[in-house]
Amino acid sequence: MEPSRHGPPPSDRQGLTWLSQVRLPESGTCGLPERKDRGGEGAGHLDPHDRLWRVAIDGQGRIAALHPIAPGSSAAGIDWQGDWLSPAGVDLQINGGLGLAFPELTTTDLPRLEELLELLWRDGVEAICPTLVTCAVEPLREALVVLRQARAGHRPGRCRLLGAHLEGPFLATARRGAHPLAHLCEPSLAALQERIGGFFGPDEGAADGTARHGRQPMDAARAGTVLSHQADEAIAGDGTPPPSRSAVAATPDLPPTPGPAWPAGAAAADIALVTLAPELEGATAVIQALGRQGVVVSLGHSEATETEASTAYDAGVRMVTHAYNAVPDMHRRAPGPVAAAALRGDVALGLIADGVHVAPTMAVLLQRLAPQQVVLVSDALAPYGLADGLHRWDERTLVVENGSCRLEDGTLAGVTLPLLEGAIRLARWSGRPERAIAAATVLPRRVLGERRPLTELLVGRPLAECLRWNQGAGGLSWRRAACV
C-alpha cells in the first residue's frame, strides 16, 4: 500500500499520534510534476491546494504514514486546521554569515562556522550548498578543504553542509556584478583541474572522503572516460537505488523504513553545483566534464542569448543562477536564458525573493509561468546574522541596509535575509503559500537529485525536524512542527 492510497487508513494502533487536516506544499519536479494524489499537479484527482492529509507520528516522534482525507470528510486527530507540513529549507546559494565569507575560510574559522550552521538550523534551514564566489585558486582550494572537515563533523541541531556551489570563475566579464575581475578566467579543462582537481563531485564523494565505486577524485583530464551521470537517479547511502514506492512504509502496521535524508552524492560531495557563463569559448567541455561527475551546472553571470542558452541546456545545464540578475532580461524580441528555461520546463530557476533583486511583480510572474521550476535562494553574504552597517568583504566594503548588501559604488551584491523570509515574501506577493513553501524546502532537493514523492520523503523523518506553516492575518509564518 502506498502512502497516498485513497480510502480510509488502517485502524489506529497504540503508540501512534495522528495529526489531521494537514496540507502539503506543491512538490513536483522540473518537467515532471507529481500526480495530484501525491500533492503535485500531474494527472490525478484533486487540486493540491485543497487536499488535506492525516499524518501518523510514532512513539519516537517520527512520521510513520500519510493518508489523504477524502474531500468533504473529516478525520480524527490533532487538528492542524489546514496548516502545511514540509521538510526544512535547503539553500543552494549562500555565501557566508556571522562575518564569515566562505571563500576566505581557514581551519581557525571552524568554531565560527559551526555557530553559523547552528544559526541556520534555528532559521529553519536543514542544508546548504556553501557558495564560493570568484576568488584566487589557493583560497578556493583551502576553503574546500575546510568545508570538507566541517562536513565530516556534522551533528544534530546544525544545518548540514552539502557540496559547495562554485559561483565562478568562468563568468562573462560584462555580467560579473560584484565578482572581482582579477580572478575571472576563460573556461578550460586545465583551469577547472587547477581549481578542483583532487576534490569529489556527487558521483564520486563518500562520507569518509574516499572515492565511491573505486573512482579517483575529480580530474578534468580524464573527464571524457567517466561514466555519464544519471541525472534522475537518487542513490541511497549504501550505493543502492532509492527504495521503490511500495517499499516505503505506508501503514501504521509496519515500522517506517525511510530512504536516506539525502542522496549520498549531494551530502558527501566536495562540489555539488557550479555557476558559469555557457556562451564562453571552452565552456561546453567544462559543462560536460562537470556533468559526468554529477555536478549540477547552472547558467549565471552570463550574456547568453536564447539560442546559446538552449544549446547549454541541451548540453546539460540544469539551472539558472539568481534569475533576472546578471543575465539578459526577457524581452519581446530577445527572450534570453530565463525565457528559454521556462519554456523547456526542465531547468530550475533560482530566485532571490527579497523584493530588491527582483521586483515582486516579476517574481510572481516567473512563478506563475514556471511553478515547478522556481527555487528560492537567499544569496546571503557574510553579514548574515549581524546588524546593518559597514562590513568587510575580501578587500572591499559592504554597505548593509534593510537586509540588502551593496558595494560602496552601489553594485548590488547580496542580502542578509534568511532563506525562509523569501518564502514568506513570495507567498505574500503571490497569494500561493503552497508554492512558496515548496520553492524553499522541496524543489531545491529536486535540483540535487531527490526524486522521491514528498510523502515518501517525509516518512521516517522526525516531526521536530520538519516545519509547520500557517497562513494567518499577518501573512505566512513557520515554526518547528510538533504534535500540538
Q: What is the pLDDT of residues 425-464, one digit of tens each?
A: 999 999 999 999 999 999 999 999 999 999 999 999 999 9
C-alpha R_g of the chain? 22
Based on the fold, state whether residues 226 and 319 are members of the same structural domain: yes
Based on the fold, state whether residues 429 and 467 are members of the same structural domain: no
Cell of residue 260, nine digits: 536516506
In the predicted model, is pLDDT for residue 35 greater than 80?
no
Active site residue 379: yes
Q: Quickly list DSSP for 368-399.
A: HH-TTTEEE---B-TTTTS-SEEEEETTEEEE
d(CA 319, CA 340): 11
Q: Which amino acid is at 283?
A: A
* Residue 219 lies in domain: 89-451
Residue 425: name the closest of 481, 480, 351, 479 by CA. Answer: 351
Cell of residue 434, nine digits: 503552497
Instruction: Say how many domains are in the chain.
Output: 2
E strands present in 44-116:
53-57, 63-68, 78-79, 84-86, 89-94, 96-97, 100-101
Q: Would residue 7 count as lying in a domain?
A: no
Asked whether 24 and 53 are in contact (CB, 8 A), the reply is: yes
d(CA 201, CA 221): 15
Residue 11: name the closest of 251, 257, 254, 255 by CA. Answer: 251
Rounded to an integer, the average pLDDT of 267-278 is 94
Q: Would residue 308 count as lying in a domain?
A: yes
Q: Which of 379, 388, 394, 409 is catalytic?
A: 379
In the predicted model, is pLDDT for residue 251 greater than 80?
no
Based on the fold, state whether residues 148 and 208 are members of the same structural domain: yes
Asked whether 76 and 468 are in contact (CB, 8 A), the reply is: no
Based on the fold, state whether residues 200 and 121 are members of the same structural domain: yes
Better-scored residue on pLDDT, 258 or 92: 92
Domain of residue 182, CATH code: 3.20.20.140
Based on the fold, state whether residues 181 and 46 are members of the same structural domain: no
Based on the fold, state whether residues 243 and 149 are members of the same structural domain: yes
d(CA 186, CA 162): 27
Residue 382: name the closest of 91, 104, 92 by CA. Answer: 104
d(CA 316, CA 308): 13
Q: Would residue 468 count as lying in a domain?
A: yes
Q: Would residue 294 count as lying in a domain?
A: yes
The DSSP letter of residue 181 is G
Q: What is the pLDDT of residue 236?
A: 26
